Amino acid sequence: MNWAMEHENNRDISQQPKMKHKGKHDKPKPWDDDPNIDRWKIEKFDLSRNETGMLEVSSFSTLFPRYSEKYLQEVWPTVNSSLKEYGISCELNLVEGSLTVSTTRKTRDPYIIINARDLIKLLSRSFPVHQAIKILDDEMQCDIIKTGNLVHNRVSLGSQNTIIPLKISILGNLDS
């Protein structure tokens, strides 16, 4: 009988919420338990947050292969007009074989230069321009995964493949 009472007391203790050991600076904040806060929501950048524009010029360059020169010349007006909406200047240098994006005084969103860098990386790998421009949206992201040294038996898969997993669609550019 004593064992049953001890077992029931142990069960009551185990059902009580356990307090985590919190550090000196890990104190509960008033917004920790607020049900109105969506912690996963990505907020759109509001232009009123940065009315003065960028103070310094940031720029990124990437090289492209000679065979994609004609394609880039065809799509460059589309790319230029898309980047101008965000206050980003872009340059196609056919002599050096490089693509360059840089901020201007009209650039308000500080993260758009990172998206523009990803855009020129995708274009340098002959990605379709209508797919690559989607990277300028804050909710879209890209990763370029180099698979050349991951595989022992190399098989030529072509320059572009569409990979469609169960729930999402990924347009992949596989480089060997």
For residue 40, what pLDDT is reported?
79
Q: Is the pTM of this model over 0.75?
A: no
CATH of domain 48-139: 3.30.1370.10
At 70-122, the pLDDT tens digits run 999 999 999 999 999 999 999 999 999 999 999 999 999 889 999 999 999 99
Do the Cβ atoms of 57 and 103 come closer than 8 Å? yes
Determine phi and psi for 4, rounding to 5 degrees: -65, -40
Instruction: Tell me how crowded residue 67 is: count the other CB atoms within 10 A of its CB.
Output: 9
Distances in Å between the Cα of 138 and the Cα atoms of 48, 63, 103, 115, 117 are 17, 25, 17, 8, 14
For residue 166, what pLDDT is reported?
38
Q: Domain-by-domain residue ranges, the chain? A: 48-139
At 148-174, the pLDDT tens digits run 777 665 555 555 554 444 344 445 544
d(CA 10, CA 174): 57
For residue 58, what pLDDT is reported?
93
Q: Which stretch of 3-12, 29-38, 62-71, 121-130 has the lowest confidence by average pLDDT?
A: 3-12
For residue 154, what pLDDT is reported?
54
Do the Cβ atoms of 133 and 120 come closer than 8 Å? no
